[in-house]
Amino acid sequence: MGAILAIRTALFSASSLQTLAISAALGAIALASPAVAQASDERAGSDESADIIVTGSYTTDANIDSATGLGLSIQETPQSVTVMTAQRMEDQAIRTLSDVVNNAAGVSARAYDSARNGFSARGFGINNYQIDGVPLQWGAGDSAGETLLDIAIYDRVEIVRGATGLLTGAGEPSASINLVRKHADSDRLTGTIWASAGRWDAYSVMGDISSPITADGSVRARAVAKYAENDSYVDLLHDKKLVLYGVIDADLTPDTKLSFGASYQDNDPRGTLWGGLPVWHADGSRTDWSRSKTVGTDWSSWASTNETYFANLTQDIGSSWSVELYGSHAVNNGDLRLLYLSGQPDEATGLGMGSSAYRADTERSQIDVGFRASGTYGLFGRTHDLVFGASYASQDFESQTSPSGALPPVGDFNAWDGSYPEPAWGAFSQAVDLTTKQWGYFAVTRLSLSDSLKVIGGGRLSSWERKGLSYGATVDFGDDNRFLPYAGVLYDIVPHHTVYASYTKIFNPQSNRDRNGDFLPAVTGENFEAGLKSSFFNGTLNTALSVFHIKQENLAQPDVGQIVPGTTPPAQAYYAAKGATSTGFEVEANGEILPGWSVAANYTQFTAEDANDQRINTLYPQKLLRVFTTYQFGGALDGLMLGGGVNWEDTSYTATINPVTGLDERLEIESHALVNLMTRYQFDNGLSAQLNVENLLDKTYYSQIGFYSQLAYGEPRNVTFTLRYQF
């Protein structure tokens, strides 16, 4: 009852007419009238029982495995699901995982520096990731450019918001991001070749080719290759990236399918920033730097490689059951040569900054294996769905560090040009050697109690452990046989309109430590969600309205002004917050609202507080608006597409202490909107030309502020031109 009252309060506590107007506008789509539903039936113009194939769209009818494993559609899944389709990523010139998060519903990103980003949803950090539905563990080390992952090899990105412990085990109740690989699904030669050029000498070229290997097309291959190189709006920063991918999909028999492949990504940056710009001058006043200002050097680099091998075997058993076996092996390596600047420079002379250097070689090796069995069974005269399985993941993370020799003074930071000498590095020694293991068993069923009423129930028995050494401290914590139940109910109030509710348990061991150096206890809690999902125009438009309530115990929060004893560089200390809650709502619409007119629109609002009604995780925005739309012209303008959108977020902040005055101070990322435009012309010969403009109004904003009491600026206006040839 308390959770329901909290959700009800959130729905009727909008802080402004702007919030109500946004919610009403998007809600009008989600709660469409019967007239619209009738129009959707007329527009379909075909038998509703026919297979629906939605391509070139901002929505999908593909089955979603990343929430329940049952292979349900978006409308059949009792949680908020957003799919970033290939078409939308192409239209918005989205290139990296960070770009996806910055444009998807209900999620946001913070750039810690030029090599690392933090993602969040519903007020909590995202640490659950999947590739083709296989859970990944990135939490033991983020030194290998994971958040800069290129999406060239992925067909779409699925984001399931809320707790996903049924499949992923331990994790935050924020979201799970599932990257769905491209596969060789064409029985004829097809491909795409494109090249782009943009501001700051940004150039890239990519090829994506599919072809049958056997005459009957039962064995097929697909290869993707991409090379990109660019400077940046930040001085000295230069990036080079190589992406390679290959996959073979084979129908060994009519009932047996095999898929295997490999991917490789090489990030080779120079002028890398470690941390951000100073926030205060020596007199305690706030700084005001140019967006091009850097703390990098002409030798600093956070290079990384990612190498992955994977295989998947699916065997159909009879007409309604199948068994899937999967395995993958990934190795991420990082080569770090960094300089960290800190302090409060004098506004006139630029003096007062200190420096420390860091040299490390890191390796994260992970093995994932598992199986799933799925099918149907009869009970009480009706047919029901069942899936069960097991998964095991083992990750080894090692970091070898090298001490630096004596460092010269920084000098005048106002005149910093990065020509700071690289120090002499000493011999390597082991700094981190951690092994993280997670295993579990799960089962879930969907009971069809009637044609309109479905009930989903199941759970996961999950175990998690991490052992080893981290900067001189012994690490040994985890939890065994933690049961995580999952329950959901869906009811079709009329055809194509489904109300739902779901419940999930939360369990997440933590690696954060308190001011005494002790590890915090595991986070526990509950996740509630309810909503309405609708489908229009034969599945080409999907809408959703949801409310949620999350409660957690022991959530790590920064202990302002405190560090973990004996850590170098100093690590932020945390305390375990009691009664942390997040309550809010989301409205979303994705797809085609008229022939040729596609839209992706969503609004998110929530409050995240502790038991004392104090805001938690304040660095994450609590209101988000994302809108992007395109229109494909016909007639005399056939081939022309125009599009645009806006990404808006409200104020977020970090509570800290001014190191000069000793007074409490709030560092804010002010409410801001970024406007984006695009246009494309499709020629008759398979060639198209596309222009994207990001941050059209050249808005100056912080991409983060307060991380180690430093700041970073977001990207200024950017322009990208792309030529694409498809055959």
Alpha carbons 674 and 677: distance in angstroms, whole number:
10
Decide if 468 contacts 475 (C-beta within 8 A): yes
pLDDT of 241: 96
Pairing outcome for strands 301-317 and 175-181: unpaired
Q: Partners of 64 in the beta sheet?
A: 72
For Cα atoms 157, 160, 161, give the angle at the middle one, nearest 5 degrees: 130
3 pLDDT band, cuts 50/70/90, is: very low
Instruction: Kindly tell me if the per-residue pLDDT of 141 is higher than 60.
Output: no
Per-position b or e across 538-554, b if 16+ CB within 10 A of its CB: bbbbbbbbbbbbbbbbb
Other Cβ atoms within 10 Å of 275 Cβ, number: 22
Per-position b or e across 370-390, b if 16+ CB within 10 A of its CB: bebbbbeeeeeeeebbbbbbb
Give the three-class secondary structure for 26. Answer: helix
Alpha carbons 85 and 453: distance in angstroms, whole number:
29
Residues 6+ apart with CB under 8 A from 401: 358, 359, 360, 428, 429, 431
Alpha carbons 715 and 60: distance in angstroms, whole number:
31
Residues 6+ apart with CB under 8 A from 249: 183, 184, 185, 219, 220, 221, 222, 257, 258, 259
Alpha carbon 384 to chain centroid distance?
33
Decide if 198 contacts 721 (C-beta within 8 A): yes
Alpha carbons 646 and 648: distance in angstroms, whole number:
6
pLDDT digits (tens, 9 = 90+) for 231-273: 999 999 999 999 999 999 999 999 999 999 999 999 999 999 9
Which tokens sit at 332? 């991420």
Alpha carbons 667 and 601: distance in angstroms, whole number:
30
Q: For residues 415-422, give the mean pLDDT.
A: 96
Instruction: Kindly tell me if the per-residue pLDDT of 317 is higher than 90.
Output: yes
Number of H helices, E strands in the chain: 6, 37
Residues 6+ apart with CB under 8 A from 466: 140, 434, 435, 436, 437, 475, 476, 477, 478, 509, 511
Instruction: Kindly tell me if the per-residue pLDDT of 11 is higher than 50.
Output: no
Alpha carbons 104 and 23: distance in angstroms, whole number:
17
Instruction: Kindly tell me if the per-residue pLDDT of 21 is higher than 70.
Output: no
Instruction: Kindly tell me if the per-residue pLDDT of 462 is higher than 80.
Output: yes
Q: Output helix, strand, coil percentages for the chain, rounded to the nearest 5.
A: 10, 55, 35
Residues 6+ apart with CB under 8 A from 601: 26, 29, 588, 589, 590, 626, 627, 628, 629
Fold of the domain built from segment(s) 81-726: Maltoporin; Chain A (2.40.170)
432 vs 41: which has the higher pLDDT: 432
Residue that the structure tokens 């730097």 belong to: 289
Residue 194 sits at φ, ψ, to 5 deg, of -140, 155
Give the three-class secondary structure for 210. Answer: strand
Half-sphere exposure of 354 (CA within 13 A, CB side): 6
pLDDT of 151: 95
Instruction: Kindly tell me if the per-residue pLDDT of 280 is higher than 50.
Output: yes
Decide if 249 contacts 259 (C-beta within 8 A): yes
Q: For residues 346-356, give the mean pLDDT.
A: 97
Q: 569: cis peptide before it, omega within 30°?
A: yes
pLDDT of 34: 38
pLDDT of 9: 42
pLDDT of 517: 83
pLDDT of 26: 44
pLDDT of 7: 40
Q: Partners of 519 in the beta sheet?
A: 513
Percent of the chain past pLDDT 90, that is, above it, reads: 72
Alpha carbon 569 to chain centroid distance?
28
pLDDT digits (tens, 9 = 90+) for 494-552: 999 999 999 998 888 887 888 988 888 888 889 999 999 999 998 899 999 999 999 98
Alpha carbon 346 to chain centroid distance?
39
Percent of the chain past pLDDT 70, that is, above it, reads: 91
Which tokens sit at 227? 């090379």
Give the three-class secondary structure for 119. Answer: strand
Decide if 180 contacts 157 (C-beta within 8 A): yes
200 vs 553: which has the higher pLDDT: 200
pLDDT of 16: 42
Alpha carbons 184 and 223: distance in angstroms, whole number:
9
DSSP readout, 667-692?
EEE--EEEEEEEEEEE-TTSEEEEEE
Residue 624 sits at φ, ψ, to 5 deg, of -135, 135
562 pLDDT band, cuts 50/70/90, is: confident
Decide if 250 contacts 218 (C-beta within 8 A): yes
Q: For residues 284-288, give the mean pLDDT.
A: 97
pLDDT of 64: 84
Alpha carbons 212 and 127: distance in angstroms, whole number:
37
pLDDT of 10: 42
Domain boundaries, the chain: 81-726
Sign of CA dihedral 26, 32, 35, 40: positive
pLDDT of 138: 63
- Closest C-alpha to 135, from 313, 323, 395, 314: 395
Residues 6+ apart with CB under 8 A from 2: none
pLDDT digits (tens, 9 = 90+) for 27-78: 444 444 333 444 444 444 444 333 333 445 899 888 888 778 888 999 999 9
Give the three-class secondary structure for 218. Answer: coil
DSSP code at position 186 = -
Alpha carbons 602 and 23: distance in angstroms, whole number:
9
Half-sphere exposure of 3 (CA within 13 A, CB side): 17
581 vs 477: which has the higher pLDDT: 581
DSSP readout, 372-439?
EEEEEEEETTEEEEEEEEEEEEEEEEEEEEE-B--------GGG--S-PPPPPB---EEEEEEEEEEE
pLDDT of 333: 93
Q: For residues 118-141, give the mean pLDDT.
A: 80
pLDDT of 25: 41
